[in-house]
Amino acid sequence: MEHIRTPKILHSQISTIEKQATTATGCPLLIRCKNFQIIQLIIPQERDCHDVYISLIRLARPVKYEELYCFSFNPMLDKEEREQGWVLIDLSEEYTRMGLPNHYWQLSDVNRDYRVCDSYPTELYVPKSATAHIIVGSSKFRSRRRFPVLSYYYKDNHASICRSSQPLSGFSARCLEDEQMLQAIRKANPGSDFVYVVDTRPKLNAMANRAAGKGYENEDNYSNIKFQFIGIENIHVMRNSLQKMLEVCELKSPSMSDFLWGLENSGWLRHIKAIMDAGIFIAKAVSEEGASVLVHCSDGWDRTAQVCSVASLLLDPHYRTLKGFMVLIEKDWISFGHKFNHRYGNLDGDPKEISPVIDQFIECVWQLMEQFPCAFEFNERFLIHIQHHIYSCQFGNFLCNSQKERRELKIQERTYSLWAHLWKNRADYLNPLFRADHSQTQGTLHLPTTPCNFMYKFWSGMYNRFEKGMQPRQSVTDYLMAVKEETQQLEEELEALEERLEKIQKVQLNCTKVKSKQSEPSKHSGFSTSDNSIANTPQDYSGNMKSFPSRSPSQGDEDSALILTQDNLKSSDPDLSANSDQESGVEDLSCRSPSGGEHAPSEDSGKDRDSDEAVFLTA
């Protein structure tokens, strides 16, 4: 039995609701959530169950943005605080940090009022030599008019990562302005005489697009480009892959083979590797070859966002900090029109549009954190909470499909920003191993030239995160954070003691008597690293025995194998099992727990005052 806090699920987290066959105890409702939580409700009366089912189905599929939680969520901040929250992450500041505008790149106002492309932001950086004429011409030759713009500029060598959608090349069409646009991107990088064009799709998919008048760049038409397919599958493949992997996670006491076979069969880690490979390729092209790269897929808002942000993360240590990571998501995902509403199903829509695109990016970051444990300022919890809020709709950041829609909805005036919330609680999200002057935090992250498959691992901290029993019972991160916190206090105390000592010595010299207060000796007796909500009890270790015949020994059959179940374990010796709380396996007696460690900060934190809004689902 796991002790969990009263389950509280946001409607927006509900992915599927399943009514299961009625049993003696009642009607079970199985609710699967987008943050990988699974909850079963047993409702005694079938009619009530049906009512709940119908209401939940309706509530989980809002049709208007105004129904979403963020429009009623109120963290008791005043207007000014809310506005401050929204300016915490400022993209124009970010472009300045990159060193823009400069001799080669300028801010273009061509998309003012979203005139050229309605899924792009208004503020866009383009090569100086790209005139409005070229841009507009190029935009007409690109899917959804998503013409090539700057995503990341690498100060050190002027190389850049640009992004767009696929060209409408069909089998033979060409567009002079689009060719000029790529030429301009190349010229903006005097260090290199070519540009990589990376099509992140599998070649077959790209070719199929040609029949629909879309496709990919013909190397003969564009001078000085090197064209490259990467082979990341489309959103439908990814959706099915996640589905299959989650089925594996859901298996009741699977064998090792069931698990590994299912994991392989889902293809999930292969897809993660494909995204990583693309990011690594681009980071290498930029940092080692000094070449600029234009990245696109079909529409340039899914795979392109994944790949550009992975590459930027590898290249620039700033994105590996707490704030930098927020900036990265703000830039490559939110501002460039990643369709959050469609992909994560915030409003009722086409289920075929739903796909775990940003989930995959978040996992890529985790995979990197596993390999470079000192390189990131934030910890795993940070990633998990961001993932949670992409689906929660508690904050306005991830609403809608584009900047244009968000402005029309006046999101910033009506909702709160997640970034401010995370920033306020940043102590919970810090990686204790991060040190700004550590070699791992400098420059580009170098992965092995032939990335090995075994580098990519199953992330149980994400996909099985609600099964606390499966996670390590002691958190090294929390332990180290508590040590660091104590270290800081010790530093302060040391300073104070030195001061006082000096004073007393001086005073003694003056033969004056001073009454000093006895300092409270600070107790140093261990850090709680346990999540106290987990009672560490033995699992059903005999579960595998169900295949053996179960016969009672009283029947006198001497070959009968015994089945030792949890039930008879519990009943046989009440005295011992009564003590189970003391047996939590991890000491919970220690005097100081890491900040928030008593209960690991919940992703729902901040919505304590709104119980009327959140549904209480009590299992």
Q: Based on CB atoms, which residue is closest to another protein, 228 or 371?
A: 371
Distance CA 615, CA 604 (A): 13
CA dihedral 122, 123, 127, 128 (to 10 degrees): 100
Q: Name which of 456, 292, 299, 430 is nearest 374 in CA terms.
A: 430
For 413, the token pair is 């005036």
Contact between 156 and 217 under an 8 Å Cβ cutoff? The reply is no
User: Minimum CB separation from another protein for residue 383, in Å?
Assistant: 18
Closer to another protein by CB, 137 or 267: give it.
Answer: 267
CB of 595 to another protein, least distance (A): 16
Which phi and psi angles does 516 have, rounded to 5°? -115, 150
**Shortest gap between Cβ of 398 and another protein (angstroms)?**
28
Terminal Cα-to-Cα distance of the chain (whole angstroms): 13
- 122's CB contacts (< 8 A; 6+ apart) are 109, 111, 112, 113, 114, 403
- Report yes or no: 618 and 7 within 8 Å, Cβ to Cβ: yes
Secondary structure (3-state) at 608: coil
Among residues 480 and 614, whose Cβ is nearest to another protein?
Answer: 480
Q: How far is the CB of 381 from another protein (least distance, A)?
A: 17
CA gap 483, 526 in Å, rounded: 9
**From the CB of 237, what's the least distance to another protein, in Å?**
14
From residue 175, alpha-carbon distances to 138, 182, 500, 544 in Å are 7, 11, 78, 65
Contact 462, 387 (CB under 8 A): yes
Q: Which is nearer to another protein, 293 or 481 (CB)?
A: 481
Q: How near is the Cβ of 124 to another protein at its closest, in Å?
A: 36
Is residue 266 within 8 A of residue 134, CB to CB? The reply is: no
Residue pointed to by tokens 């901290």 = 461
By C-beta, is 190 or 585 nearer to another protein?
Answer: 585
d(CA 142, CA 540): 58
Distance in angstroms (rounded) separating the CA atoms of residues 398 and 329: 10
Cβ proximity to another protein: between 352 and 506 the closer is 506
Helix, strand or coil for residue 210?
helix
| CA–CA distance, 597 with 604 (Å, rounded to integer) | 15
CB of 248 to another protein, least distance (A): 9
List C-alpha distances in Å: 242 to 262, 265, 605.
Answer: 11, 11, 27
Q: Is 113 left (phi over 0), alpha (psi -120 to 50) or beta?
A: left
Element holding 197 (H helix, E strand): strand 195-199
| Between 533 and 577, CB nearer to another protein | 577
Residue ranges of the alpha helices (H) in 141-175? none
Check 117, 162, 297, 400 and give the catalytic one: 297
As measured in angstroms, the least distance from the Cβ of 554 to another protein is: 10
Nearer to another protein, 261 or 616 (CB): 261
Q: How many CA atoms lie within 13 A of 406 on its CB side?
A: 29
Least separation in angstroms between CB 459 and another protein:
10
Q: By C-alpha distance, which of 582, 461, 468, 578 is closest to 2? A: 468
User: Which amino acid is present at 503?
Assistant: K
Instruction: Tell me how far, at minimum, the Cβ of 326 lies from another protein, in Å.
Output: 24
Q: Is 297 a catalytic residue?
A: yes
C-beta of 344 vs 527, nearer to another protein: 527
Supply φ then ψ for residue 390, to 5 degrees: -65, -30
Q: What minimum distance in Å lies between the beta carbon of 253 and another protein?
A: 7
Which residues, listed in sequence order, are joined to residue 164 by a DSSP beta bridge?
296
Facing residues of 31 across strands? 17, 39
Please identify, using beta-carbon distances, which residue of 17 and 569 lies nearer to another protein: 569
Give the single-character DSSP code of 125.
E
Nearer to another protein, 3 or 484 (CB): 484
H helices of 61-142, in order, are 79-87, 91-98, 132-140
Q: Which two tokens stand for residue 298?
A: 């079909």
457 C-beta neighbours (distance < 10 Å), count: 13
Indicate left, alpha or beta for 202 from its phi (over 0: left) and psi (-120 to 50: alpha): beta
| Residues marked as catalytic | 297
